[in-house]
Structure 1
Amino acid sequence: MSDHTSPEARSRKFGAAEGDQGIVRCDACPVLCRIRPGRSGACSRYANEDGQLVRTDQAVALARAVETGAPVVPFAEGGWDGQLLDPSRAFVTGIGAGTTYPDYKPAPFIVGGTHAGVDTVTIVTEGIFSYCGVKVKIDTDRHLGPEAAAVRCNGEQVGHVTTAEYGSQMLSLGGVRHLTGGSKREGTTTCDTLLKLCGGDTVELAIDGGHTVLVQAGQAPVVDGRPEQRMRVGCGSATIGIFAQQWLGHADEVIVVDDHITGVLSEHQAGKVLGMRPTGIRLRGRRSTPGRYFQVAQPGLGWGGTDISDPLSIIEKIDPAVAWPGLRLLLTSTTGEDALWCVLDDQLRPVAAEMPADVAKVVERIGENCEPSLCTVIFMAGAGGSLRAGVTDNPVLLTRSVASGETRVTMGGAPVYLWPGGGITVMADVLRLPKRAFGFVPTPALVAPIEFTLPRALYQRLGGHMGEIVPVEDLLRGLGPQLRVEGWQDGNPWPFPG
């Protein structure tokens, strides 16, 4: 039987005693802290307890509800007695498992079990990721900063603005060049920023040539102190297409202001199909296809992600040969948060007026069709290097097995997206991992759970550490009070067959 089954033996897997003072050297990361009795290392994840190196956090297992859909009953905070959990419904995660850096040793837990009649093995560890970062999706039309602009936290560059997506601004933060390629302060600030974002905390970011934004996974962004409410329903042209039929007969012209593509209803194909009369209203900027205008204003925090607060400023001219007094004009943003109703006077000047109820109803519907503005944080890492040696003595076989889909990769039980091509490059939504799933080491680098699940027969063919496999029930029982059991997160696929 492997020594993984006892907490005491698990503690001995790391570190080495030094001298007569009870000092233990931790070898869980390259820092190699020398820890005195009763103290913890620089990362606070390992401590010296009576001359033994122990993990300060509990290991985490996830329990799936029975098929009836009954919820998992939370276990008492005082610990788990190992008797209440059906091993077939348990998944041991890498959270709190510890590391075996530089992985010349087998992974901390190599767990055997049977699921749907298939003998499986799950290799469980906490990876030390110097090559990691987060991709942040911020649902807003507001201009946060120029593409490729530096993103800073506490004055240090921790990433950059990347290409915007439909209705969202995107940031790329972290990466090895910020963690290790700059000053010590840049590296530690980057590591701290990533750790907070992955842990669901709020981080204030400042963008060169742009604005500040408060980011927290699953929460609305706050741009320059203003909470965002809505993600746009579409670009200006798309908004015209969606609501053209509903405006017909209630407005003679509709202009949907957008930083990217501003739409003009009467010129738009939708207006043409509906037989709308030309209005002679010409916008500033560059006309693309009919009814679609680029660059009507500069990017900013105003209407539709532009820098304007007066939408009439984007009108270049009104052709007196085409327009008429009494022409009814609606200007709105792509979220419906800003809207102005005007009627042309005898000099063909737009004059603000009270918006008719039928028009206001459509503007409200724009808002109704906008999704809530949220921040999404995606952790991205390369699981290469010696981490794979903790799984098999021939790491390339593991890489190939992962790429082919034979071996399933999870992070804290959460599904990952595996990038095609070489290596094991994965992305995971931090909100799909259990709480407190991430840690750090002061090299600096992030520590994150990772699990590899595959059939036992395949594990043997890959050159796996077969002598280290421990039955799941023995591992759960042996961990005792060092184990924390949480319920399986709804929506995450079960990593095992069946």
Structure 2
Amino acid sequence: MTETRIAPAVEAAPPDPKEKGADIVRCDACPVLCRIREGRSGACDRYANEGGKLVRTDPLVLMGRSIENETGELVPFLKDGEGWSGKLTADAPVFVSGIGATTTYPDYKPAPFIVGSRWQGVDTVTVVTEGIFSYCSVKVKIDTDRHLGPEQASVLCDGEPVGHVTTAEYGSQMLSLGGVRHLTGGSKKEGVVTCATMLSLCNKEAVELEIDGGAKVVVQAGQAPIVDGEAEERMRVGCGSATIGIFAQQWHGHADEVIVVDDHITGVLSEHQAGAYLDMKPAGIRVRGRKSTPGRYFQVAEPGSGWGGTDITDPLSIIQKIDPKTAWPGLRLLMVSTTGEDAIYCELDGDLVPVPKVMPDPLQIVVDRIAENCEPALCSVAFVAGAGGSLRAGVTENPVRLTRSVRDALTRVTMGGAPCYLWPGGGITVMVDVMKMPDNSFGSVPTPALVAPLEFTMPRQDFARLGGHTGSIVPLEDLTDGRVALRAEAWPAGNPWPMGGA
């Protein structure tokens, strides 16, 4: 990351910046309308009073791609230990992000930056702003089988409700945090805590959450979850039935029965279709729970932090009965969890009672292989927001045309340069993986609401066609005229280039 401060900041131009009092400037960038004294910043820390002028406090972030030189070598936009020259050309592989752009909300005037450039022979426009979002939420995916709490249970931070547990997904627990009802529909403290929680998560910081009636979990994007003080290492390879399907042939000949303990579907090998395929004879060991299809059982135990996401610490306790007409002394039984963290090997004695034994090497290899096939447990954070309302007026005088242009894929929507998923249906509802965005991309305002970078990129002719503010287009190279503070960052290699092409 390289910062080039070409000027302290760009002076904003509110209609009437000065109010009574020689050292007070009024900011109209959002409805809070802060009155800022000399040397101070507003409530959002994004505008300040510098010498009686309203200025931006953060530099505008430019993101550049590596380019090929005349010898065909890739030259990085930023070289290690070297600064950025500060030079731009109309066709430079540089993208102007919304980070540091500030906002014009409510958008009764054009967006802060409408930048014209040329990419692969096409005149392109990128409309750059920072949106203020009350209608926004954070979806959190936590890779763990451990029970965090019942669905619909409240998620608390600092004792305040900030969201709820939602439907679990394959190998992961899911939380839905934020939303307008928590931000503005509850107490003032609830709104403030909710905003702070979302801001920290979106900026990839660690947050401790407590599930009502459940666990305490530390969540940080890109890091392993910490559940009740223990760091999670791996997510399950699959449910109990899937685990049997994957490893049945490797167990065959080394065990007469394998039971894979799982909160959702516990698998029993000899009854399973995989066992039938291997011509395994019935073992006569019946587990508790509700039988679904052969070898697949639901509700063998309550959810918990034990074996396979159940409350089981003694796996033999899920055995309901052993049929003396079918089972036999010496029967080899393996019980294992869906992550391989827990496993036990037993042999039936003369009374058909399972007796723990040392795990044979061929079975230990497969147990270790289950663990090897489990992916590392991580927390994922996705920011969801409705990029509608007056925000579109900062782009065009006819907002519905922007919505249609986005839906027709003529306009690309990015957040801090990161690709967004566009939800089907009406409006412009976007979802972005915060790990694909530059660090500290998000801010907040005290309404409370989150502030996030937003960019709309399209061909210049399409911008004119949708009624865009063509009179406010600034050539890319003019950003280095000394009036704008800039910071340069290298383009993330995994993100697609918003302007299209290679």
TM-score (norm 1): 0.96
User: For 1:302-336, what per-residue CA distance to the aligned partner results, in whole angstroms no more than 9, with x for missing partners?
Assistant: 00000011000100000000000000000000000
Partners of 2:287 and 2:60 in 1: how far apart?
A: 62
Report the AA paired with residue 49 of structure 1: E
Is the CA contact 1:97–1:125 (under 8 Å) kept in the aligned structure 2? yes
Corresponding position of 2:3:
none
Corresponding position of 2:494:
491
Report the AA paired with residue 378 of structure 1: A
Q: CA deviation at 1:74?
A: 5.0
Is the CA contact 2:206–2:219 (under 8 Å) kept in the aligned structure 1? yes
User: For 1:43-91, what per-residue CA distance to the aligned partner results, in whole angstroms no more than 9, with x for missing partners?
Assistant: 21111001111111111000111144343325889x8552277852110
User: For 1:107-154, what per-residue CA distance to the aligned partner results, in whole angstroms no more than 9, with x for missing partners?
Assistant: 000000111111110000000001111100000000000001000100
The correspondence of residues 318-467 of structure 1 with structure 2, limited to 5 A, is 318-467=322-471
Partners of 1:56 and 1:356 in 2: how far apart?
A: 65
Is the CA contact 2:90–2:475 (under 8 Å) kept in the aligned structure 1? no
Most deviating of 25-34 and 305-314? 25-34
SS of 2:67's partner is: coil
The correspondence of residues 180-329 of structure 1 with structure 2, limited to 5 A, is 180-329=184-333
User: For 1:404-426, what per-residue CA distance to the aligned partner results, in whole angstroms no more than 9, with x for missing partners?
Assistant: 11100000000000011110000
Report the AA paired with residue 154 of structure 2: A
Q: CA deviation at 1:19?
A: 1.9
Report the AA paired with residue 371 of structure 1: E
Partners of 1:235 and 1:44 in 2: how far apart?
A: 48
SS of 2:369's partner is: helix
- Structure 2, unaligned stretches of length 5 or more? 1-5
Corresponding position of 2:113:
109
TM-score (norm 2): 0.95
Are 1:60 and 2:61 matched, yes or no?
Answer: yes
Is the CA contact 2:9–2:56 (under 8 Å) kept in the aligned structure 1? no
SS of 2:74's partner is: coil
Partners of 1:171 and 1:405 in 2: how far apart?
A: 30
Report the AA paired with residue 335 of structure 1: T
SS of 1:62's partner is: strand
Corresponding position of 1:3:
none
Are 1:90 and 2:126 matched, yes or no?
Answer: no
Partners of 1:81 and 1:364 in 2: how far apart?
A: 53
Is the CA contact 1:103–1:387 (under 8 Å) kept in the aligned structure 2? yes
Partners of 1:75 and 1:11 in 2: how far apart?
A: 32
In structure 2, relative to structure 1, the CA distance for the partners of 1:323 and 1:155 (3 Å cut) is same
Report the AA paired with residue 232 of structure 2: E
- Structure 1, unaligned stretches of length 5 or more? 1-5
In structure 2, relative to structure 1, the CA distance for the partners of 1:202 and 1:466 (3 Å cut) is same
Most deviating of 420-429 and 62-71? 62-71
Partners of 2:88 and 2:412 in 1: how far apart?
A: 27
Partners of 1:292 and 1:227 in 2: how far apart?
A: 30
In structure 2, relative to structure 1, the CA distance for the partners of 1:249 and 1:479 (3 Å cut) is farther
SS of 2:471's partner is: helix
Task: Give RMSD over aligned pairs.
Answer: 1.6
Is the CA contact 1:80–1:483 (under 8 Å) kept in the aligned structure 2? no
